[in-house]
Amino acid sequence: MQSSPNAKRKPRFLLTLSIFIFQLTLALAQTNPSTEAWTKTEKKIKPAAKSASKKSTKALLIDPSAQNPTNDSTFVYKIVEQMPSYPEGQAALLRHLEQNTQYPEIALKKKVQGIVVVQVTVERDGALSNVHVVKGIGAGCDEEALRVVGLMPKWKPGMQNGQAVPVQFNLPIRFKLDK
């Protein structure tokens, strides 16, 4: 049975597609601190006497703009209205990972495979910061994942309420040996 040149690329495409799905799942599973802030803006009050007016109830509400995290320069989001994106889109991100990731020799010898999860923060200007491994597999794969992420250009920043904001998320990078 002869294999075509595209036969080798197909498993990599499936690999990169699974990276995207895994990343999306992780992003959606993370909690959103900004939502928590908004849910705490209304004070819990005991039912007042029937003569209480609506005006007095409104006076007990806290001004939501006072707790708006977009005004805080140190606040880092996990989920925003528009998540950060790689400059030319998801396909370009997958291409970057495929073209630049080199399987470490020691991992090849030890037949190490798995997913390295790299946590990054995309800053307001799109620069990547706070890049570190949150789940590694060793054998040089963790270092290789950090190297490949370090080669990435600036991303399109995440947006919340029309403003660019820093967003933290996990980027899974799969290392899988061909059979």
Domain CATH number, residue 16:
3.30.1150
pLDDT band at 17; cut points 50, 70, 90: low
Instruction: Identify the domain containing residue 83 by its residue range.
Output: 7-32+77-175
Look at the chain and report how many structural domains it folds into. Answer: 1
| Out of 13-27, 86-100, 139-153, least confident range | 13-27
In a domain, 43, yes or no: no
Assess whether pLDDT exceeds 80 at residue 29: no
- Which distant-in-sequence residues (6+ apart) come within 8 Å of 175 by Cβ? 101, 103, 107, 112, 113, 114, 115, 116, 137, 141, 144
pLDDT band at 70; cut points 50, 70, 90: low
Q: pTM of the predicted model, to two decimals? A: 0.61
| Out of 29-43, 67-81, 89-103, 142-156, least confident range | 29-43
In a domain, 62, yes or no: no
What value does the mean pLDDT take over residues 35-52? 45
In a domain, 63, yes or no: no
In a domain, 53, yes or no: no
In a domain, 37, yes or no: no
pLDDT band at 39; cut points 50, 70, 90: very low
In a domain, 156, yes or no: yes
In a domain, 104, yes or no: yes
Burial class (CB in 10 A: 0-12, 13-18, 19+), 59: exposed
In a domain, 122, yes or no: yes
| Higher-pLDDT residue of 110, 61 | 110
How much is the pLDDT for 178?
A: 85
Q: How many Å is the Cα radius of gyration of the chain?
A: 22
% the chain with pLDDT above 90: 57
Distance CA 23, CA 15 (A): 12
